[in-house]
Structure 1
Amino acid sequence: MIKIIAIGVWVCVVSLGSSYGMALFASKSTPTEKQEPSYFEGLDYRKTDPITVPVIYEDKIRGYILARFVYTIDGKTVAGLAVPPDPFMLDEAYRVIYSAKGFDFDRPERYDVAKLTEDIKKAVNARYKKDIVEDVLIEQFDYIEKDKVQHG
């Protein structure tokens, strides 16, 4: 009977010792320094409503650009804004697309979308007078010629 009790005490001591050893090892191997947050931590992704922008060349409407954007913004920052950024995003997108020069009607796929998104981001941030928008992405960007638009 004493042998069984001694074996039970020995198993408890070994279990407690190994648990203590693993806890001590894990606490020393865990980094204690604070890690930098990733780029996407705390960012909200928001979609704009679609916009239709007429493309005018030589005083005539040649077609329309249909566009929809996604932008990233800090969640804490947007919660503190008195005016949401959506109207500014749409307004600046419309202005940038409408005022674009040198649109190639034969090859609309060559439109400089990287410059477009950067211009929209800069314009919205300029309106707020601080960096609110982190990035602007394109969800939809289509060119439709005027004669291919179906009415009613």
Structure 2
Amino acid sequence: MIKLIGTGVWVLAITLASVYFSLKMASAPKVDTAAAEREAAMEFVSGYTTTLPVIGEGGVNGYLLTKLAYKANKDLAAKQVVPLPQMITDELYTLLVGQKMIDVANAGSFDLEAFRGIVKEGLNRRFGEEVIAEVYVEQIDYLTTASVENPPPKKGVTLLKGEVPVVETEAKSSGH
């Protein structure tokens, strides 16, 4: 009986000692305060649905409908004279109509990451500062002129349908 009690005390002492030393040796997770501050300085900006003409031989071949959203620096965005969504829409016309970034005839060759990068670089170049941190694609559609003039059901082609992260209620209430 004494051996059984001694064994129980020994197991209890070893368990308590191992818990004590494991807690003592464990370090607290390192918090990257710089990254947390950068993230706190960002806001979510929902873009407008933008309809861009696809111009080809002989006129307009169709329309590209895009809806993008952005993660932008609050302070730098507040310094802009023109409101951010309007400036973004204007820059999208410049980038997508002027540079022919999307080849609708070959939708399978569309590179989403390159598209996001080009949009981000073009916007930041236009702002003159790193205002846009990330570009989110909600949807990109292509409608032919024939489907717009005589709309049979479902003639448009969805090139891409993405997901935008959930926005905190504070960002929604700020009006952006």
Q: Name the TM-score class by shorter chain.
A: 0.5 to 0.7
RCO (CA 8 Å, sep 6+): is it higher in 1 or 2?
Answer: 1
Tell me how far apart the structure 1 counterparts of residues 72 and 91 of structure 2 sit (CA, whole Å).
16
Equivalent position of 1:19 in the other structure: none
Between 1:82-91 and 1:67-76, the stretch displaced more is: 82-91
* In structure 2, distance between residues paired with 1:138 and 1:101: 15
* Alignment of 1:138 onto 2:137: yes
Change (3 A) 1:78 1:104: closer
Inter-CA distance 109–148: structure 2 relative to 1 (3 Å threshold): farther
Pair 1:51 & 2:53 matched:
no
Whether 2:103 is the aligned partner of 1:103: answer: yes
Contact 1:70/1:137, CA 8 A, preserved across alignment: yes
Give me the CA root mean square deviation.
3.1
**In the alignment, structure 1 residue 92 sits paired with structure 2 residue 77:** no
Q: Structure 2 vs 1, CA of residues 104 and 67 (structure 1 numbering), >3 Å: closer, same or farther?
A: closer
1:35 is aligned to 2:32: yes
> d(CA) in 1 for partners of 2:102 and 2:134?
25
Count of paired positions: 126
| Structure 2 unaligned regions, length at least 5 | 1-22, 152-176
Residue 50 of structure 1: SS of its match in structure 2?
Answer: strand
AA of the residue aligned to 2:134: D
CA distance in 2, matches of 1:85, 1:108: 29
Q: Quote the residue 2:123 is aligned against.
A: 124
* Distance in structure 2 (CA, Å) of the matches to 1:139 and 1:59: 31
Q: AA paired with 1:92? A: E
User: Does residue 1:61 correspond to 2:50, yes or no?
Assistant: no
Q: Is the 8 A contact 1:97 1:116 kept in 2?
A: no
Q: Matches of 1:93 and 1:132 in 2, distance apart?
A: 15
> Is the 1:63–1:143 contact (alpha carbons within 8 Å) kept by the matching residues of 2?
yes
TM-score computed with the length of structure 2 as normaliser = 0.59
TM-score (norm 1): 0.66
Q: Which moved more, 1:88-97 or 1:35-44?
A: 35-44
Q: 1:103 is aligned with what amino acid?
A: D
Gaps of at least 5 residues in structure 1 are 1-24
Percent identity between the aligned chains?
Answer: 22
Q: Give distance in 2, aligned partners of 1:50 and 1:95.
A: 15
Radius of gyration: which is bigger?
1
